Structure 1
């Protein structure tokens, strides 16, 4: 194991952690027993204590089991925005012994159809604003029942805070006999039965990673692998029962799921939960609730500090601020530290590792740095072609081994086999990211082996976008790349060769509008350029990197 970073390990924190041999639901059950009346969730003026949260979870789990026939090992889709309903749904699925399949609420019907069929989910828990997108799949796919949640059920009638429209929307009537309102499921008061979960073996969460080959892949995580990173997050960031967390990252994503929901529940902390990012409200809540912990992405911090009124708020309660997805600009990190006295602590992880494998020591963080390997993580740098291990300052692929690494890709044994490598007699996961580490064992991102675009912290795989674009009848060839964007970091651009009979008949905006209807908002091409031909290698491969280098060189020239 590479231990070069050990001299810089945070004081009074062990270098190894014992992973709990219990289920994720057990975390909530224990916390509710310890702190029954303590607020678990603060939601736009609404307060949900731990006892109430557990009772809601149990009631929904009983309904899933006894009315909808959910049994151990079933996959259940969780398709909604950050809300108490999301938290309830997540733990209820686990209490029923099933597997949570968290989906991005930006996904549209065509994308949802793939996930439903791929994981074989018969049941979905859905935000009511998203129901029209999933409704066409009822009866047309394996999906046959949907539980519909209204976020407004959890906010008070008298408003102290401004609600997003989606939170203020009144509860809808059940639109179909196959759709059940969450409120009715909870009122049924059905007690769950013990599904006999085996935490070390049974799957708990199946997050999907965007597909490098055009189709997303489900990452199989057991209760044990998820628990490993929950405990890791709690110990590393000093989460206690007195902590108060600002929850702004989307919970469908592993970073928000682990750091802003699962870790606080394990610790008995309180989460001030935001459905839509609002920089003004974030500052108000930090001041009002004396929030201590905030995990985010760099674009949120940039926007937060750009608020002209930020100096009017007391945000001194913050003791832990960090995140991942994209490096935080150095000047922004320095300004944040000047205002709060807290150094921004970046981390690194993937869906395949259910969040972090690397974290910066809170008291010795380096900006624009992945951090050092987390508890019990063995991270190496190898030559991606030869597999030879590289030393300090040498650039190569990051491979990791640890308790949080997934079991493999759902129903994709060949992709699973390619994702791992045997190194020094152990099984390591190949991240596909190019990095280096310094003499102190801190890792720094350099590039990617895989073609991935990082748009506002969301991963976009060009092959997936291209596979959808090829369905357009006017498109003969397409190449998707990431180009610089001042707000999103990178944005998606498509170079397109039209079929001969379509030239002059179709415009760039028409392609963009068509793609918007078939892809999530962060994924569709914001820029389209028609070209006569795409650059090709001698073997007929499209030279996407050449196009990307030209675009970035152009941006650097004009900036």
Structure 2
């Protein structure tokens, strides 16, 4: 019998996806041949066409191979904010046969050390303002070489762009700085060397990206994605969302995160579309870019969408070119969804995916979406709701763990067999991934988030694992006990709160803000507790475990949805 959701399957969309047996680099090369003069990237008033992008990628790939010793199967760290050089470096590393390890620019030296050590990467491409943590890793012998980029090298130098530059952050406008040492190489100088790369030898099954996602133990795990798993997600997304070569896509979500990496970079390049890129979120500028460049597609977390449409200046812009507004990571509030529909004629097309599934996994049909809904399994995807203990299928309507099988599911966690054994199981000859999300299926076959099996906070689509934050906070000499929980946030969906028991001598000597500032120095900004509350004690079970669920329930807004 056909699954329930097949009754509402979008017309013209096949039930399976045919995954191309090529690499992401092949798509760039095809786009450069087909549309050499077409804008691939628009950034800071400057346009990079597909011919130029491919030439820059080839030259940088050759430098990686011939000067920095990057070989097939190596890993390369990539650390920076959204910029054209990010895309160039990403595809150059793939062209050289390596896999990219995307790193948040908010990462501390300790976090970068872990990524370098665990992945075995010896080369990093880094924005110049982030050089300090790289220098620390080099001093520890973890990295051999760094390619340094300056965002300002990608900006237009024409007079017409002067007004646009006034809206850019100072870090983007900063001129190129001197290199810190001999192991440091300028990215633009490397491209200017004009070297020719070795013939392409990559295949669809080669590792392409190893994004790290933290876990309940606090130790980040690398998700092994091949060209094939990334393309399975991309191709399915293009067909499901009716994207085409003329799609103009606003790239705002950070590209170190799978949402931005796939939807803001890889999807448009595999289409041969145009990327309108922002270096950092600015709601008024986003509205102006949509109007100026007739943007048709924008994928973003609800927090960004809410922010843009709350701006009076944005509401004065012509946003009529937008045909698709989509995203996930958190549920779109009902009031905002209604406002978008009534005032702008837009519906927010919600979907569901994870780092482990290369972003696109479930989707709502464009013509029959449901609000605050994970949608239905898309092409080639089979999802089920199972008992978390027995892994047996549960009846329709019951809440259980969402498990999934599909061509975009990662190959596994990098060098972590213990985590793989916990994350995967076999059923009916298929390999299913355990998402850790508790969901249920309605009478139409649509999936709805109900809770989480794993202890995790979803802040604007960024996963924050309380155990990791607590582990860092326990290093503070004044902290006796800490419990990190999720609390509701109007913009982020959820935000991080820490309940702290201070050591007796330190009570009254440390402020909440001092702990927040201390945390900012030791962990990425999205992990830092936005709220801190001092308490006398934390409730515990009979075995001495802190009752975090009880505390989280006490601090949640009554009736608030628990993180879609």
Answer yes or no: same fold by TM over 0.5.
Answer: yes
Report how far residue 165 of structure 1 moved. 1.7
| Greater Cα offset, 419-428 or 252-261 | 419-428
Partner of 1:80: 80
- The whole-number CA distance in structure 1 between the counterparts of 2:310 and 2:506 is 45
- The whole-number CA distance in structure 1 between the counterparts of 2:218 and 2:168 is 37
- The whole-number CA distance in structure 2 between the counterparts of 1:141 and 1:482 is 37
Closer/same/farther in 2, CA of residues 555 and 528 from structure 1, 3 Å limit: farther
Partner of 2:196: 191
Alpha-carbon contact 1:484-1:555 (below 8 Å) kept: no
Alpha-carbon contact 1:469-1:515 (below 8 Å) kept: yes
Report how far residue 500 of structure 1 moved. 4.1
Partner of 1:407: 411
Report how far residue 195 of structure 1 moved. 5.3
Q: Indicate the SS of the match to 2:139.
A: coil
Structure 1, residues 528-552: CA drift from partner, whole Å, max 9, x if none?
A: 2233322111122111011111112
Write the mapping of 1:478-497 to structure 2, written as runs, cut at 5 A: 478-497=482-501
Report how far residue 16 of structure 1 moved. 1.2
| Greater Cα offset, 92-101 or 122-131 | 122-131
Partner of 1:530: 534
Query: Does 1:178 find its partner at 2:161?
Result: no
- The whole-number CA distance in structure 1 between the counterparts of 2:412 and 2:507 is 44
Partner of 1:218: 222
- The whole-number CA distance in structure 1 between the counterparts of 2:485 and 2:535 is 14
Structure 1, residues 187-236: CA drift from partner, whole Å, max 9, x if none?
A: 11111113522322x21100111222111110011111111011112112
- The whole-number CA distance in structure 1 between the counterparts of 2:188 and 2:509 is 51
Partner of 2:246: 242
Q: Indicate the SS of the match to 1:138.
A: helix
Partner of 2:38: 38
Q: Indicate the SS of the match to 1:11.
A: coil
Alpha-carbon contact 2:405-2:433 (below 8 Å) kept: yes
Write the mapping of 1:250-329 to structure 2, written as runs, cut at 5 A: 250-329=254-333
| Greater Cα offset, 442-451 or 277-286 | 277-286
Query: Does 1:16 find its partner at 2:21?
Result: no
Alpha-carbon contact 2:309-2:315 (below 8 Å) kept: no
Report how far residue 49 of structure 1 moved. 0.2
- The whole-number CA distance in structure 1 between the counterparts of 2:342 and 2:554 is 38
Write the mapping of 1:362-401 to structure 2, written as runs, cut at 5 A: 362-401=366-405
Q: Indicate the SS of the match to 1:304.
A: helix
Alpha-carbon contact 1:251-1:257 (below 8 Å) kept: yes
- The whole-number CA distance in structure 2 between the counterparts of 1:72 and 1:91 is 14
- The whole-number CA distance in structure 2 between the counterparts of 1:429 and 1:2 is 22
Q: Which runs of 5+ in 1 are unaligned?
A: none
Report how far residue 489 of structure 1 moved. 2.5
- The whole-number CA distance in structure 2 between the counterparts of 1:265 and 1:255 is 15
Residue 472 of structure 2: which of 468, 471, 474 is its match? Answer: 468
Report how far residue 131 of structure 1 moved. 1.5
Report how far residue 554 of structure 1 moved. 7.9
Task: Give the ranges of 4+ consecutive aligned residues of structure 1 lying more than 6 Å apart after TM superposition.
Answer: none
Report how far residue 457 of structure 1 moved. 2.2
Instruction: Give the TM-score taking structure 1 as reference length.
Output: 0.96
Partner of 1:124: 124
Closer/same/farther in 2, CA of residues 358 and 148 from structure 1, 3 Å limit: same
Partner of 2:70: 70
Partner of 1:113: 113
- The whole-number CA distance in structure 2 between the counterparts of 1:555 and 1:199 is 46
Report how far residue 389 of structure 1 moved. 0.8
Partner of 2:425: 421
How many residue pairs end up in the alignment?
555
Q: Indicate the SS of the match to 2:335.
A: helix
Alpha-carbon contact 1:71-1:195 (below 8 Å) kept: no
Report how far residue 141 of structure 1 moved. 3.6
- The whole-number CA distance in structure 1 between the counterparts of 2:509 and 2:543 is 31
Q: Indicate the SS of the match to 1:492.
A: strand
| Greater Cα offset, 371-380 or 525-534 | 525-534
Report how far residue 252 of structure 1 moved. 0.8
- The whole-number CA distance in structure 2 between the counterparts of 1:308 and 1:8 is 38
Write the mapping of 1:356-367 to structure 2, written as runs, cut at 5 A: 356-367=360-371
Partner of 1:430: 434
Q: Which runs of 5+ in 2 are unaligned?
A: none
- The whole-number CA distance in structure 2 between the counterparts of 1:195 and 1:49 is 22
Q: Indicate the SS of the match to 1:110.
A: helix
Q: Indicate the SS of the match to 2:300.
A: strand
Q: Indicate the SS of the match to 2:312.
A: coil
Instruction: Give the TM-score taking structure 2 as reference length.
Output: 0.96
- The whole-number CA distance in structure 1 between the counterparts of 2:277 and 2:441 is 36
Alpha-carbon contact 1:117-1:141 (below 8 Å) kept: no
Report how far residue 409 of structure 1 moved. 0.8
Q: Indicate the SS of the match to 2:332.
A: coil
Q: Indicate the SS of the match to 1:21.
A: coil
Query: Does 1:29 find its partner at 2:4?
Result: no
Structure 1, residues 56-79: CA drift from partner, whole Å, max 9, x if none?
A: 001110000000000011110010
| Greater Cα offset, 337-346 or 61-70 | 337-346
Q: Indicate the SS of the match to 2:70.
A: coil
> CA RMSD for the aligned pairs?
1.6
Report how far residue 498 of structure 1 moved. 2.9
